[in-house]
Amino acid sequence: MTIFGGALIYLGLIGAAIGVVSLLKPLRFLGIRTRMRGLLILGLGFLALMTGVWLPVSETRVATVRTHLDDFVPAYQFSEFHQILIDAPKDRAYAAIREVTPEEIRLFRTLTCIRRFGRPGPPGILNPPEHRPILETATAGWFELLADDPGREIVFGHADDGRGRGTLRAAEFKRLIRPRSSRSR
């Protein structure tokens, strides 16, 4: 999916929401004067949403493994890159990442509550206990620590076997994610 597909999904969601509201009370300030026109907007919004969802997604493959993440996910469809300069030695930054608690991140609990749609949840990454490091909570439950290269890289993820036997371990995760062409037969 390209940025076009993502924009189409969001525009479709907005259009569908406007259509639903206009079914209840036409939004005249937007030029929607009748409920029938609201229904049309809802349909067009849904069509745009579905078109964005069904656009083909291209796959990127790692040519040379440079990081542990490349080793675990050699083929992927989506990627983002964020960078921030930190004025501290890398071992101190690494320790801070490992030790940060929910209380130290502004709006952490609010954002995770939104992610849970306001439902209380069991202890875990979306409902971490107070004064316990977030990564410790995450890797004690839902996520598996896949690779840890102190001062350089931490990789964690979640995958299961589909039979409810729990999260796959690092070696099993690699076998699961490996592209079909490189799997042993």
**110 Cβ contact partners less than 8 Å away, ≥ 6 residues apart:** none
**Are residue 30 and residue 81 in the same domain, yes or no?**
no
**Are residue 83 and residue 31 in the same domain, yes or no?**
no
Q: Which of 33, 54, 75 is the last residue of a domain?
A: 54
User: Residues of the chain whose pLDDT is less than 70?
Assistant: 1, 118-128, 161, 164-167, 176-185
Statement: the pTM of the whole predicted model exceeds 0.75 = no
DSSP 168: P
Parallel, antiparallel, or unpaired for β 60-61 and 144-149? Answer: unpaired
Q: Which of 54, 77, 94 is the last residue of a domain?
A: 54
**Are residue 48 and residue 68 in the same domain, yes or no?**
no
From the list 150, 184, 125, 163, the residue with the least C-alpha distance to 68 is: 150
**Are residue 105 and residue 23 in the same domain, yes or no?**
no
**20 Cβ contact partners less than 8 Å away, ≥ 6 residues apart:** 38, 42
**Are residue 30 and residue 9 in the same domain, yes or no?**
yes
Distances (CA, A) of 129 to 91, 98, 143, 154: 26, 15, 16, 22
Q: Say how many domains are in the chain.
A: 2
The C-alpha atoms of residue 74 and residue 174 are separated, in whole angstroms, by 9
In a 3-state reduction of DSSP, which class is residue 109?
helix
**Are residue 88 and residue 173 in the same domain, yes or no?**
yes
**Are residue 41 and residue 75 in the same domain, yes or no?**
no
**Are residue 106 and residue 143 in the same domain, yes or no?**
yes
**Are residue 28 and residue 91 in the same domain, yes or no?**
no
CA-CA-CA-CA dihedral for 131, 133, 139, 145, to nearest 10: -170
What is the domain range of residue 46? 3-54
Confidence at residue 102, expressed as pLDDT on a 0 to 100 scale: 85
Confidence at residue 185, expressed as pLDDT on a 0 to 100 scale: 36
**pLDDT tens readout for residues 50-99:** 999 998 888 888 889 999 988 888 888 878 888 989 999 988 999 998 99
**What sign has the CA pseudo-torsion 162, 163, 166, 171?**
negative
The C-alpha atoms of residue 103 and residue 65 are separated, in whole angstroms, by 36
**Are residue 85 and residue 105 in the same domain, yes or no?**
yes
**Are residue 118 and residue 176 in the same domain, yes or no?**
yes
**Are residue 25 and residue 99 in the same domain, yes or no?**
no
